[in-house]
Amino acid sequence: MEKLIVASNNKGKIAEIKAILSDMYDVRSLKEENIVSDPEETGVTFAENAVIKAKAVYELTGIATLADDSGLVVDALGGAPGVQSAR
């Protein structure tokens, strides 16, 4: 079975992805693979930041990598804090 790394340290997110994809891939977390990766998320969208994270891990390992980026988008705040949620 092909390995797939989830570029996240969020245990809940990793568990959800494993539940969805474990019948097709050997889904592994950064911790399980002993990978330390914390690239600067300079994207202006969640998708751009997810790509930054996935590419960083792929460049370290050469293994297919999946990343997700999310945050709070509040209509009453004009979409803020958006991609700045974690910061």
Separation of alpha carbons 71 and 86, rounded Å: 7
Residues serving a catalytic function are 69
Please state, in angstroms and as integers, the Cα–Cα distance from residue 21 to each residue in 6, 9, 61, following that order: 11, 17, 20
Give me the phi and psi of 14, to 5 degrees please.
-65, -45
